[in-house]
Structure 1
Amino acid sequence: MADIHVEEFYKDAAVALVQLYSAFPRRVDLFVEDIAGPDEPDEFGLHSKRHMACFGALIWLAEEGFLRYVDTIRQEALDQAILTQEAFIRLSSPAPDVLVQELRGSEEPAGTLLPPSLQEDLSSHIHLVRTALKSRHSVRIGRAVHATLFTSR
């Protein structure tokens, strides 16, 4: 089992990428609270470790070339964020068949024949990330995000 902070990173990255993909090509504000949940700063105005970890994940995605943004809104959001070309292409592209079968599991009956265009859509990285998020299964989320972010491009 992975460390909890790594599992949270995968979930935060998945939610952010899905939000940006759904809005593409519009720029949107990415609020940490929408991704990691509500946060009440302490008496000194400092956010929780969980909030800061999510904010850090968003910054990391930007530093690694998956998204761009105009500015930060304090430590609460990224202003006018958008996927990079590389991230959009990666999310739209088909994932390896082995990963598709593993993450899809028993979702669809064996022997189901779908039109090629639908099969391609259902095997894209973004579909796998969305499906993993819906499952709420941290291992599936981690595998889908890991394959999307770290598989050789």
Structure 2
Amino acid sequence: MADIHVEEFYKDVAIALVQLYGAFPRRINLFVEDIAGPDDPDEFGLHSRRHMACFGTLLWLEEEGLIRYVDTIRQEALDQAVLTRNAFVRLSAPAPASLAPASRQGYDQREEALPPSVQKDLSTHIHLIRTALKSGHSGHISQIVQGTFFADDNH
């Protein structure tokens, strides 16, 4: 079992990527509270460990070349954030079938009857991330985010 802060990291990454993908190519303000939940700063105005971990995750996404932003809004948000080309292409790409065994448990012949374009959309990394977030299972979220980051670049 992973450390709780690592599982929170994967969940924060997934939520941020889904928000940015949903707005792409528009730039948006990416608020920490929309990802990690409400924060109650202490009497000195310092944010909680959880809030700061999420903020650190957003900064890490930029350092790793997955997002861009114009500036930070204190430690509350990223101003005018957008996915990079590489992140957009990766999230839009079909994921390997081995990445989503849990999401395929409900697979039936009705999916085969769907138009090819819909079948393709259901196999993308972003769809798998959204499905994992809906499941709420931290292990599944971690698996999908790891698979998205470390997937073969030829996919």
TM-score (ref. length: structure 1) = 0.95
Partner residue in 2 for 1:105: 104
Q: Which runs of 4+ in 1 moved over 4 A?
A: none
1:72-109 CA-partner distances (Å, limit 9, x unpaired): 00001000000000000000000011113x13132232
- For 1:143, what is the secondary structure of its paired residue? helix
Counterpart in the other structure of 2:22: 22
1:61 match: 61
Structure 1 residue 112 displacement after superposition: 4.1
1:15-35 deviation line (CA, Å, top 9, x unaligned): 000000000000000000000
Aligned alpha-carbon RMSD (Å): 1.2
CA contact (8 A) 1:32 1:54 kept: yes
Tell me which residue corresponds to 1:116. 116
CA–CA separation in structure 2 for the residues paired with 1:138 and 1:22? 22
Which amino acid counterpart does residue 57 of structure 1 have in structure 2?
T
Does 1:43 pair with 2:43? yes
SS at match of 2:82: strand
Unaligned runs of 5+ in 2: none
**Structure-2 separation of matches of 1:25 and 1:79:** 14
**Within 1, Cα distance between the matches of 2:48 and 2:111?**
47
Rounded to whole Å, the distance in 1 between the matches of 2:59 and 2:3 is 20
Contact 2:111–2:119, Cα closer than 8 Å, also in 1 = no
Of the structure 1 ranges 77-86 and 114-123, higher mean CA displacement relative to structure 2 is found in 114-123
Contact map agreement 1:103 1:132 (CA 8 A) in 2: no
Q: CA deviation at 1:111?
A: 7.3
Residue in structure 2 matched with residue 135 of structure 1 by the alignment: 135
Give ranges in structure 1 of 5+ residues lacking alignment: none
Q: CA offsets, 1:100-128, max 9 Å, x none?
A: 3x131322325741332221110100000
**Contact 1:94-1:123 within 8 A present in 2 as well:** yes
Task: Tell me, yes or no, if structure 1 residue 96 matches structure 2 residue 96.
Answer: yes
